[in-house]
Chains A and B, each alone.
Chain A
């Protein structure tokens, strides 16, 4: 298999009949290690130790400009020549580093060993390393492992792989509960918790919680409501533990948030009248905020390059609630099970693409000359220099964008490039 033999084909597969343009080639997408940037802020008792190369360390510090944290809760165990030549036993070295690290940071309760491209290629067994360290460190510290390597994972799949590690640790419960799956900013989590409470859904747990040590229970009476479309493996592992998946679009925009909350409300037998009474005011607030941005966005064309797997959901929001015209919606990996409800809401006349062949895709961007291109930071300034307005996709991952009260902010992120252009006279 090579790039040259890989001629893009539009295929129809599965139950959804929508054709997908699958491409193979150079990708301008982060690897799964990048998820550490938000995971380490969310999980306040966890440390993420990448076992990798200098490139991995450089990637994490450059990808998000996270130098703002004086001493972050992540680091890299950099493999050196000595490790590769077998002069040093990599396992002993890793144990030594972990112990040093934990002495420095006694407040850490969970240590994630994160595999990288080099550690996967040399087949350093981090799962065994975690077992070995657990025998020594439990119950003080639990050591978990997952891979965020670029040869196996793309950008947001790193979060999926991290959350997946919690599933085997979850105790069994027969209690009725709602589990929201996916990392959310604390403020958004609090808003959703209040809304569920008002709906009479009191037993709500969030995965992940704010502390990695607090692992929720799971069982046949757990309803799963994914808040992020990229946690497919975690969701499937939870379903394998007996939980039931609630299907819904994701809570972006007034419509998406309503449909998402409704999926939970229906499963919990909340009456339509009660649902409207609780969500009505918040929904009206969101619609007012969206109405302010709509004139800037309606009728404008949009091209989304693959980045976070949020693309189908955001495209649905931008098209249905703000009237944007979709040209191509690219996603690094299309997990149909996770986005079936979103795909059903997308118009038929768009190109849905999966994977990437960067140069060919940029040819399509230049041919289409969209009003707005959503892309990574490596491409934004070059496209702006070609006269194309851009929106950095990474901001969509790092900003609070879920729920009614962020709907206006989310729309504003896309409207800002137009507002800015309208202001500048130079």
Chain B
């Protein structure tokens, strides 16, 4: 048993629901008791879907156990087929149905429906949501392409040079992070290179679209958590190569363009010709990000301590942007999925930190508190942690909440995505000039702790005050003298919590029982970076 307060991922059948709900004519019969329909509201509320997820729940009850639950499966399959007329059907168990072993997939397969029926086996007591999504996507495509797989060893014929190269965009789903807009952004890049998009899947795809996947020359593995299992199989079975670069950030987008151009056999210069790495000025990139990062207003971003925790794909990409494109210092990097732990560990080593691989929310909170970052880049869980600790935060990955599905166009991939990320990471921070003013006029009656930065919400002051209280080890820590306390108050509120903690730990390490003004400045010198 594992004690959990909050979970980063749902059970694997939620992953299957994400695949079904992303597509247009697929239906999912889920053998599940009453209550499991809560999952519908993830789609209708967080993602604001205007239709119900295409899922039929069998809704078995205690009195059905030991007899008629299998009949319920067959009845639900028959009814779902009659009512919704899907082009293919997924059938599987939720956690409780797995225990009663009705073999719902086999039951449905035995019903001789005139459409493909894909039985899903998603072990609910060992696997989680992203794995469930990847597995569902893979099994669905495999079932649909079963009769198209070429004989082992056969070579893929070269592309007819008369037609443009074609790529599939694989992995975007509902409840993924900014997938809708990322797809638009990547389509633009491909179009500029003269590459056609063959199929986008699962988001917006039909069952027939999946049957056309082998018509592409290569695959773009856009969200590996969902698509890597499938792209691996397509590579092995159909000889279709797949990209490895995640086009998030200016540098990675440039790398992605080079990789895609190589796979497609086209000239990257329509896009890369205008990119000048290492150059200042507005014209050095299709993105404004490099110039914004170099403009003097951004100097205050230098060395800001950032803690990154997300799914592996977004966490690794964010770390590169933080270090190379924002000039931050990465003080923590981790992800909640063990499946991609190796990639995250490799990335963490590049920034000299130890990777945090955990799905224990409390452990993540502890690590963030210990690292005392100035900015947290995370999921909606880290948003709550950061709020509690009074630290600025931007969300970069699922799990998401309704505010992470914005109305405006806001991709995080591609050149426009880099612009979006610059804005959304900088806005939670106290702005450069404001930081200086707070330093200079800290005794001004209108410009003190109770009056937080102008662009931050009014509640900020309150949460920061709470955070500072929470950070002080009043009970067993060294005591502050009145002078020391007064001096501490002169430090701007957004770094005061850290100053207090650093000073106290410095005093403790020196065996000091009281903290004076001198101790405060000794500690400052000690921790100066």
Contacts and interface: CB of A to CB of B under 8 A. Distances in A.
Contact of A1 (B7, B44, B68): B68
A55 B11 contact: yes
A59 B380 contact: no
A93 interface: yes
Given A376-B41, A378-B44, A378-B52, A27 B1 contact: no
B452 to A, nearest CB: 20
Q: Which of B4, B64, B65, B71 has the most CB of A within 10 A?
A: B4
B327 to A, nearest CB: 31
Contact of A381 (B36, B44, B65, B401): B44
Nearest to A96: B1
A53 B59 contact: no
A379 B44 CA distance: 7
Contacts of B6: 57, 61, 67
B401 to A, nearest CB: 8
Contacts of A150: 33-36, 96
Contact of B11 (A3, A54, A100, A154): A54
A138 interface: no
Given A62-B41, A70-B388, A80 B1 contact: yes
B11 A31 contact: no
Nearest to A49: B3
B49 interface: yes
A72 B5 contact: yes
B61 interface: yes
B34 A78 contact: no
B194 interface: no
B94 interface: yes
A122 interface: yes
Interface stretch (B122-130, B335-343, B428-436): B122-130
Interface string A51-65: 101110111011101
A382 B52 contact: yes
B128 to A, nearest CB: 7
Contact of B1 (A2, A28, A79, A379): A79
Interface in A347-389: 359, 376-382, 384-385
Contact of B41 (A53, A57, A152, A378): A378
A93 B49 CA distance: 40
A68 B381 CA distance: 10
A59 B3 CA distance: 15
Contact of B5 (A75, A79, A379): A75
Interface string A134-176: 0000000000000001111010000000000000000000000
Interface residues of A, number: 68
Nearest to B64: A1
A101 B1 CA distance: 13
Contacts of B388: 70
B52 A121 contact: no
B72 interface: yes
B96 A117 contact: yes
B330 to A, nearest CB: 25
A151 B61 contact: yes
A83 interface: yes
B34 A2 contact: no
B100 interface: yes
Interface stretch (B76-84, B316-324, B485-493, B517-525): B76-84
Given A55-B94, A57-B7, A378 B38 contact: yes
A260 interface: no
B4 A377 contact: no
Given A80-B2, A83-B1, A151 B65 contact: yes
A33 interface: yes
B75 interface: yes
B99 A121 contact: yes
Given A58-B7, A150-B33, A81 B99 contact: no
A77 interface: yes
Interface in B29-61: 33-45, 48-52, 56-61
A76 B11 CA distance: 13
B11 A97 contact: no
B44 A380 contact: yes
A83 B124 CA distance: 13
A25 interface: yes
A118 B1 contact: no
Interface string A63-106: 10101101110111111110110001010011011001100000
Nearest to B123: A81
A28 B2 CA distance: 29
A126 to B, nearest CB: 13
Interface string B303-324: 0000000000000000000000
B125 A79 contact: yes
Given A1-B68, A151-B62, A382-B44, A30 B99 contact: no
B526 to A, nearest CB: 31
B197 interface: no
Contacts of A33: 35
B7 A61 contact: yes
A202 to B, nearest CB: 40
Interface in B369-386: 380-381, 384-385
Contacts of A62: 10, 38-39, 41-42
Contacts of A32: 35
A36 B23 CA distance: 34
Interface in B85-113: 94-96, 99-100
Contacts of A96: 1
Nearest to B126: A81
A34 B33 CA distance: 14
B134 interface: no
A4 B79 contact: yes
Given A117-B33, A121-B99, A3 B60 contact: no
B1 A54 contact: no
A27 B59 contact: yes
Interface string B160-197: 00000000000000000000000000000000000000
A118 B96 contact: yes
Q: Which of B6, B58, B124 has the most CB of A within 10 A?
A: B6
B14 interface: yes
A120 interface: yes
Interface in B335-379: 362
A33 B35 CA distance: 9
A112 to B, nearest CB: 15
A57 B95 CA distance: 12
Nearest to B470: A70
A97 B60 CA distance: 30
B1 A77 contact: yes
A54 B128 contact: yes
A199 interface: no
A80 B1 CA distance: 6
A26 interface: yes
Given A26-B76, A58-B7, A381 B48 contact: yes
Nearest to B44: A381
A363 B127 CA distance: 37
A152 B61 CA distance: 6
B61 A58 contact: no
A152 B59 CA distance: 11
Q: Which of B34, B40, B74, B94 has the most CB of A within 10 A?
A: B34
Given A1-B64, A100-B3, 10 more contacts: A4-B79, A25-B59, A75-B5, A80-B1, A151-B33, A154-B34, A378-B44, A378-B45, A379-B40, A381-B49
30 contacts: A1-B64, A2-B68, A2-B72, A26-B56, A26-B58, A53-B124, A54-B4, A54-B11, A58-B38, A61-B6, A62-B41, A62-B42, A74-B5, A76-B7, A77-B2, A77-B4, A80-B1, A80-B126, A81-B126, A83-B1, A93-B1, A118-B95, A150-B35, A151-B61, A151-B62, A381-B44, A381-B49, A382-B44, A382-B51, A385-B50
Interface of B: 1-7, 9-11, 13-14, 33-45, 48-52, 56-62, 64-65, 68, 71-72, 74-76, 78-79, 83, 94-96, 99-100, 123-126, 128, 362, 380-381, 384-385, 388, 401
